[in-house]
Amino acid sequence: MSAVEIPVAPPAPSRRRVERDARERRKLEKRLVRLTAQAITDYAMIEPGDRVMVCLSGGKDSYGLLEMLRILQARAPVAFDLVAVNLDQKQPGFPAHVLPDYLRGLDVPFHIETQDTYSIVQRLIPEGKTMCSLCSRLRRGVLYRVATELGATKIALGHHRDDILGTFFLNLFYGGRIKAMPPKLVSDDGRHVVIRPLAYVPEDDLARYAQDRQFPIIPCNLCGSQENLQRKQVKNMVAEWERRFPGRTENVFRALARVTPSHLMDRTLFDFMTLQADGRSNPDGDIAFDDDPGACAPAE
């Protein structure tokens, strides 16, 4: 006769461990708030009296965005309003109660817009093709209309640092352009200002924060669409770089805000045509005859 196994409960974490975890969680939130506040300030994203429409998809980034804006709203010297908006696109299995329940619990004003963009996308995109670009375009149109109806002066999206970097590399590799995702822009209908307050925040931090806060995540694959393959490859490339050369991601990201048009080749950004020697020295200018600093760098 075999012995009966009695399940043993895992040992409770020590008090020291519990305190350390709580400290880490506080530190993470502080960092997220600091980075968000910095981006808002650097790009003048929010002005006194703004009514900010926070687009909530139910993903980790949008929950993090709403939380950061709520914290800053309570602390910031400028007064602004928030209204959370979710677009129910009628994807099969979308748990329509999750966001309203969550938002009611927070006491945040919100609006749920129901629009069956899912059927439109299904009808127009051939099977097996990625649906995300049409889906996002339709979503954007609806959200702009809702922003007007709600009197929103700003539309806040949850894109983070790694979305911006990923878009930069996609444009570079597949579009032949130096172009990323702006932290602030005027919408393509020319009527709204769109802001990305999480522009400085790394995705890993948002993922940890979502876990700490136990946000009720709704997956963005209910439609059955596959993640864009090129975006996935770029994401893997950046992750692999960061693993092998820690700090590279942040370095490339910082470069996006430190552009030297005179050292690129875009004639619309720098007037090469009328460039003349003016006899004034420029200590930051090109050291034209120095070695290319990359030429002798050790192979990676």
Closest alpha carbon to 136 in 197, 180, 64, 87:
87
CB nearer ligand SF4, residue 164 or residue 223: 223
Rounded least distance, CB 158 to ligand SF4, Å: 13
Residue 35 or residue 181: which is nearer to ligand SF4 going by CB?
Answer: 181
Q: Could you count the other beta carbons within 10 Å of the beta carbon of residue 228?
A: 15
Instruction: Closer to ligand SF4 by CB, 153 or 225: give it.
Output: 225
For residue 115, with 0-12 CB atoms within 10 Å meaning exposed, 13-18 middle and 19 or more buried, which class applies? middle
Q: Does 210 bind ligand SF4 (CB under 6 A)?
A: no
By residue count, the chain amounts to 300
Closer by beta carbon to ligand SF4, 135 or else 195: 135
Which of 115, 122, 187, 225 is the binder for ligand SF4 (CB under 6 A)? 225
Does 150 bind ligand SF4 (CB under 6 A)? Our answer is no
Among 72, 87, 135, 180, which residue sits at the site for ligand SF4 (rule: CB under 6 A)?
135
**Pick from 2, 221, 274, 282: which binds ligand SF4 (CB under 6 A)?**
221
Residue 68 neighbours by CB under 8 Å, 6+ apart: 32, 33, 36, 197, 198
Angle subtended at Cα 75 by Cα 69 and Cα 80, rounded to the nearest 5 degrees: 55
Residue for token digits 């919100």? 110
Contact region with ligand SF4 (CB under 6 A), list: 131-139, 208-216, 241-249, 292-300: 131-139
Residues 76-95, one symbol each (x = binds ligand SF4 by CB under 6 A, - = not), give ---------------x----
* Minimum distance of ligand SF4 from residue 86's CB (angstroms): 12
Candidate ranges 28-36, 129-137, 206-214, 284-292; the one touching ligand SF4 (CB under 6 A): 129-137
Interface region with ligand SF4, contact rule CB under 6 A, candidates 44-52, 78-86, 220-228, 282-290:
220-228
Query: Contacting ligand SF4 (CB under 6 A), which of 99, 198, 223, 234?
Result: 223
Exactly one of 39, 72, 131, 210 binds ligand SF4 (CB under 6 A); that residue is 131
Residue 296 has φ and ψ, to the nearest 5°, of -105, 5
Q: Which positions touch ligand SF4 (CB under 6 A)?
A: 91, 131-132, 135-136, 220-221, 223, 225
